[in-house]
């Protein structure tokens, strides 16, 4: 597993607790729910550990790649390096110190991933008071941040909920007289 070194002061580093299904060593880089994390300590598989998700860190860098301060950096999980290539990689943060093509490491301000807003379609069928989207593990624990009708809406929305399987349920105040269709905006965590 590729490793990174946290080089920021403790006041600037933000952490979270997570139980990973594989053993990790201090500095190991993992990706969880679209967020690049660095293990703060060693931990066995299925043991809770602390991971940094924000702060300055030094990462291995893609070979022959020059990176300028301010450029967005992405973690290539399969190669175990930081890159400027977005496709297929996870946004990690911003380069904060120039790195020449000959350098093997890159200083990045690791940032929380705030680009995890998903739009989910939900239909409440005629004659019913509730409808749900398909289960989506990426939305488990998500927060509903908005809802709007995408077609007919003949009843008031009483509740919008994220279920344990990641499906979204829209409940109306009364039974729909025709299909009511909605788009629900969710912020996944």
Please, what are the domains in the chain?
A: 5-110 (2.40.300), 117-187 (2.40.30)
**pLDDT one-digit tens code per residue, 81-116:** 999 999 889 999 999 999 999 999 999 999 987 666
| pLDDT value at residue 34 | 85
The one-character DSSP state at 115 is -
Query: Apex CA 14: angle with CA 12 and CA 77, to 5°?
Result: 115
Confidence at residue 115, expressed as pLDDT on a 0 to 100 scale: 60
The dihedrals phi and psi of 138, each to the nearest 5 degrees, come to -70, -15
Window from 76-85, 135-144, 167-176 with minimum mean pLDDT: 135-144
Is 0.75 surpassed by the pTM of this model? Answer: no
Residues 114-128 have pLDDT tens digits of: 666 788 999 999 999
**How far out from the chain centre does Cα 175 lie?**
36
Q: Which 3 state secondary structure label does DSSP give 122? A: strand
Q: CA 111 to CA 54: how far, in whole Å? A: 5
Is there a contact between 91 and 115 (Cβ–Cβ < 8 Å)? yes
Tell me what pLDDT residue 21 has: 93
Alpha-carbon distances of 24 from 6, 21, 47, 52, 114, rounded to whole Å: 15, 9, 10, 13, 25
Token pair for residue 124? 């409440």
DSSP symbol at 99:
B
Contact 62, 82 (CB under 8 A): yes
Residue 147 pLDDT level (bands cut at 50, 70, 90): very high
pLDDT at 37 over 80: yes
Mean pLDDT along residues 10-38: 92
180-187 β-sheet, strand order: 117-124, 180-187, 143-149
Give 148-157 pLDDT, tens digit per residue.
999 999 999 9
């Amino acid at each position: 597993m590729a490793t990174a070194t946290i080089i920021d002061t403790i006041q600037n580093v933000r952490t979270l607790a997570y139980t990973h299904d594989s053993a990790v060593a201090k500095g190991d880089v993992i990706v969880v729910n679209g967020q690049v994390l660095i293990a703060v300590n060693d931990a066995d598989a299925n043991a809770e550990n602390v991971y940094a998700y924000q702060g300055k860190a030094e990462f291995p860098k893609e070979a022959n790649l020059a990176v300028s301060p301010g450029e967005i950096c992405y973690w290539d999980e399969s190669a175990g390096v930081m890159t400027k290539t977005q496709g297929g990689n996870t946004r990690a943060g911003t380069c904060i110190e120039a790195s020449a093509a000959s350098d093997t490491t890159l200083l990045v301000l690791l940032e929380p991933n705030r680009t995890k807003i998903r739009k989910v379609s939900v239909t409440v069928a005629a004659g019913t008071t509730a409808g749900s989207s398909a289960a989506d593990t990426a939305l488990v624990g998500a927060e509903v941040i908005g809802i709007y009708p995408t077609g007919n809406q003949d009843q008031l929305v009483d509740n919008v909920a994220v279920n344990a399987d990641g499906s979204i349920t829209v409940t109306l105040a009364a039974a729909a007289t025709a299909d009511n269709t909605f788009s629900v905006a969710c912020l996944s965590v």
